[in-house]
Structure formats: C-alpha cells, structure tokens
Amino acid sequence: MIGKTNIKETISSTALIDPSVKLGKDVYVGPYTIIEKDVEIGESAVIDCVINKNGPSIREIIIKNYRQKERLDEIINTATWSLTRMLENSVK
C-alpha cells in the first residue's frame, strides 16, 4: 500500500520521464508511466496505472491518483485518442 508506507522517491526503470520534470520528495512513479516536459510532480505523489490484458487484448486500464474529475476526463480523452491512432496504424 503506497499511501501509508515510507517510500523514498521510487521510480520504475520502465518509466519515461523528460529531463525537465521536477519531482518532489517521496514520489512514486509506476511502471511504463510517461511524464512529458515541463511538469512538476508534488511531494508524496503517486503516478501509476494498471493495464489488465486478456491474451493480446486490453481488458481494462486502471488509472490511479488522478485527483479531480476534470483531470480524469483529460486522461480518458488522451487514452482514447492514443489507442485509436494505434489501431489505425496497425491496420495499415
């Protein structure tokens, strides 16, 4: 459980983080997370998601620590756009 543990800036080796990103103290960045340029992550933040697959198909994507409803809407729109482009490119 992340919230109650004493983590020390744990960043997954598979995360892609732009060099301009500023990370606060005790930040956790989960596997395969992408953080683009000019972002600041506050102290004790958790940036993580889980992708559950069923064979080669994605069954569900669980997004953690999105905070405001508006932010979740942005994430869903971005994911929808990205997955749509991936499908379009796989058909070509």
State pLDDT tens for residues 21-52. 999 888 888 888 888 888 888 888 878 777 77
CA distance 42 to 51: 24
C-beta atoms surrounding 47 within 10 Å: 22
CB 38 within 8 A of CB 22: no
Encoding tokens for residue 24? 């606060």
CB 36 within 8 A of CB 54: no
pLDDT for the residue numbered 92: 64
Residue 81, C-beta contacts closer than 8 angstroms, at least 6 positions apart: none
pLDDT over threshold 50, residue 80: yes
How large a percentage of the chain has pLDDT more than 90?
7
pLDDT for the residue numbered 9: 52
Q: What is the pTM of this model?
A: 0.53
Residue 19: pLDDT band by 50, 70, 90 thresholds? very high
